[in-house]
Amino acid sequence: MFIWYAPKINRNPLFTYTQALKNYAYLFFSFNLLINLCESFPVVIKTFKKGKILYGIRFQTQTYSFLKDIQSLFYQNINGKLVKYISNELLLELNLKVLTFWFSDDGSYELSGVSFHIQGFTLNDVYKLAGMLHYTFGLKCSIHYKKNNKGVIYIKAKSMPLFKSLVIPFMHPSMLYKLKM
């Protein structure tokens, strides 16, 4: 899970990345890709969810002005509030490595396919992403509706051999469990 944070809408953002403690190897792999942007090492965090204590691990970058350009691909300023969306420019960046990181972060194995859990986006954006998965990679997708009428992209079973062939070469070994491997 990643979060963009800017103390004020006009200030430079920073990037915060969190994983469950069991995914520490993947988090450190990701941290090593961004280490030059960070001023400290990852830390263990404790959160509470539904009355349970959960442990995770997190790192964050320093604030940088160039991160505004990247943040604008995922968030738009609406009345002084940052709202998640998928820009058309972001769709042009969809490649095999992006697909692999996206799945490693927001994906899960379900039934005989996989899902991308992107409930923070509008249905329009979910359909836009599903269309790009089909157009760019030839994946057969459907949209499953979750609570609050939010969509999840489901990669159908007949596309699983193709999906695995696309992402496995780029996946960190600790995340292969998401493909039941």
Q: Is 7 helix (H, G, I), strand (E, B) or coil?
A: coil
Does residue 94 come out as left (phi exceeding 0), alpha (psi in the -120 to 50 range) or beta? beta
Q: Is 175 helix (H, G, I), strand (E, B) or coil?
A: helix
Between 80 and 116, the more confident residue is 116
What would the mean pLDDT of 79-92 be, rounded to a whole number?
87
Per-domain boundaries in the chain:
2-84, 90-179
Query: What is the rounded distance in angstroms from the CA atom of residue 67 to the CA atom of residue 164?
Result: 31
2-84, which class in CATH?
alpha beta
Lowest-confidence segment of 73-77, 156-160, 172-176 by average pLDDT: 73-77
Whether the Cβ atoms of residue 3 and residue 74 lie closer than 8 Å to each other: no
Q: What percent of the chain has pLDDT over 90?
A: 59
- CB 109: neighbour CB atoms within 10 A? 14
Q: Is 152 helix (H, G, I), strand (E, B) or coil?
A: strand
First and final CA of the chain: distance in angstroms? 22
- The pTM (predicted TM-score) of the whole model is 0.86
Q: What is the pLDDT of residue 9?
A: 56
Domain range 90-179, its CATH number among 1.10.10.10, 3.30.70.100, 3.10.28.10, 3.40.50.1820: 3.10.28.10
2-84 matches 90-179 in fold? yes
